[in-house]
Structure 1
């Protein structure tokens, strides 16, 4: 009986050893599963040439897969000295159904973020991303609302000064998304846009006595409008404000600068426009000026 039990244990151990690693077309598997496509691997030993590895598929004991390599560094590794390309199939699944991280080929390589299919950054997009760069070297503004017909040549204290009359230095794609004359950017398609602008008021604009109820401040503001043609308060979708404040006794040769950078999700046709509001002098002096030298007043809009 003892001899029979010992024999059974030897059989079981041998069976477990045989099936702990499986080789197809090779008696010398290097992983849990090893397929030798050309049956050209050595029968024994651990030295395999790159050519011998190039037609192999290997699954390691950690669950990594190597196609053409016996040393996968990641979960799926096809890097080798042969034709180590990866082919992706098409898919009609929605991005949500495929879940985030899924990859497909649909006239280009796309990945799912869980909400939508997006082109890989390494792929050439169907349309070039919009980038706008502009500068402002004049004092042209529209007051209160950009729908107003009159453009003034000076900025007004305690009023909304919509910045118009830009000089466009660069715009990619069609070159028609930003109207430099009106200062209005129109989104050509749905997407995320990062918008930034800076302004600097002439130092002579600051002339304020102590007034704790009305602190000295300048606000840089982005206003997002709907995709109609109106630029009235009824058309406003969103407003983002960035505020800079100064000491209440700031007076004389001190610049009042501000900037605002914000991200917007815009649908095609929605409009974006910058303006500033400031409280820099208690006498409401009219026709104040920007610091129009030194490149202080700039605008950049970039589609993501």
Structure 2
């Protein structure tokens, strides 16, 4: 019976003694503690940042500290030294890796359980392009952007807006040609473009015709990366329209605006124009409302 009691005491003593395991340290601070450089003090609770930086430990809460004795999360590598964490690639599908998995695949990616998605952690090598411009005159190119510049807008015709005054452009300052109204993408990316126009007050007078409604359209036209601005160069067209009653008792403003997002490749071009149908003839000589800041353009790279 004495031998049995002695054995129980020895087992309990062994478990107590080795409840914290230290590798190359006599003073473990967790369930398992490895001192890489064998530079920890043999007793006490005071450890310098340099002494902690080469340690790895597992706490009783199941947390892992790499270079720190006080991990605040499941895996904590924050310390005053090199706290970088390296991730390798993985051939697992996002579903197999499950939600929350992280991998490196020519860039950091995470799994949402269905697909691998990029972690947008890298900063661009150059600042994003932002263009702000205003139009304060009536210069346009009628019908096509390749036409000669003229003064005065025309009813029931495409009025390509040229002759902008650039208020601001970030980055190189050369993506937007204020004279021609053409924005050229400096690199592949998503660009949000918006412009607003307002015609000078006029009487809207047109016989009701369901096939020719009274309206004014603000339009963005995207061209390829060649040198032409012809119909064969058009990649995409986005139209925004405002409609109105067929007749007005007096002169009123007619305006429109258009905001759209475009994925543009390097060298593709974007240009704004308006088309309106406010009376029964294709007359020219209409004017923009050039006071009060109504006619503006903004293009922002995302």
Tell me the TM-score range normalised by the shorter chain. 0.7 to 0.9
Which structure 2 residue ranges, 5 or more long, are not aligned? Answer: 111-115
Moved more, 284-293 or 54-63: 54-63
1:258 equivalent in structure 2: 256
User: How much does 1:194 deviate?
Assistant: 2.0
Q: 2:57, 2:64 within 8 Å by CA — same for their partners in 1?
A: yes
CA contact (8 A) 1:208 1:251 kept: no
Paired position in structure 1 for 2:81: 83
Relative distance call for 1:302 and 1:22 in structure 2 (3 A) is farther
After superposition, residues 8-19 of structure 1 pair within 5 angstroms as none
Quick one: distance in 2 between partners of 1:185 and 1:84?
A: 45
Deviation at 1:228, TM superposition (A): 1.2
Q: Which residue number in structure 2 is paired with residue 211 of structure 1?
A: 208
Change (3 A) 1:32 1:223: farther
Equivalent residue pairs, number: 287
In structure 2, the residue matched to 1:71 is 70
Residues 13 and 277 of structure 1: CA distance in aligned 2, closer, same or farther (over 3 Å): farther
- Counterparts of 1:258-277 in structure 2, within 5 Å, are 258-277=256-275
Name the counterpart of 1:231. 229
Q: Could you say which residue in structure 1 is the equivalent of 2:184?
A: 186
Name 1:197's counterpart in structure 2.
195
TM-score by length of 1: 0.74
Q: Which residue of 2 aligns with 1:163?
A: 161
Q: Which moved more, 1:185-194 or 1:111-120?
A: 111-120
Which residue number corresponds to residue 132 of structure 1?
131
Question: Structure 1: which 5+ runs fail to align?
Answer: none
Q: In 2, distance between residues paired with 1:251 and 1:50?
A: 84
Shift of 1:58: 3.0
Relative distance call for 1:111 and 1:167 in structure 2 (3 A) is farther
Q: Where does residue 25 of structure 1 map in the other structure?
A: 24
Q: State how far apart, in whole Å, the 2-side matches of 1:12 and 1:137 are.
A: 90
**1:98-117 equivalent positions in 2, closer than 5 A:** 102=103, 111=108
Cα separation, 2, equivalents of 1:231 and 1:257: 25
Q: Structure 1 residues 303 and 210, CA, compared in 2 at 3 Å: closer, same or farther?
A: same
Change (3 A) 1:274 1:61: farther
- Aligned-pair RMSD on alpha carbons? 4.1
1:198 Cα offset (Å): 1.6
TM-score by length of 2: 0.74
Structure 1 residues 134, 71: closer, same or farther in 2, change over 3 A?
same
C-alpha separation in 2, matches of 1:220 and 1:159: 12
**Counterpart in the other structure of 2:113:** none
Distance (whole Å) between structure 1 residues aligned to residue 187 and residue 102 of structure 2: 24
Q: Which whole-Å CA distance do the structure 2 matches of 1:117 and 1:191 have between them?
A: 16
- 1:114-142 superposed Cα distances (whole Å, 9 cap, x missing partner): 68897713xxx433433222211111111
* Range moving further from structure 2, 174-183 or 266-275: 174-183
In the TM superposition, residue 14 of structure 1 has moved relative to its aligned partner by 6.7
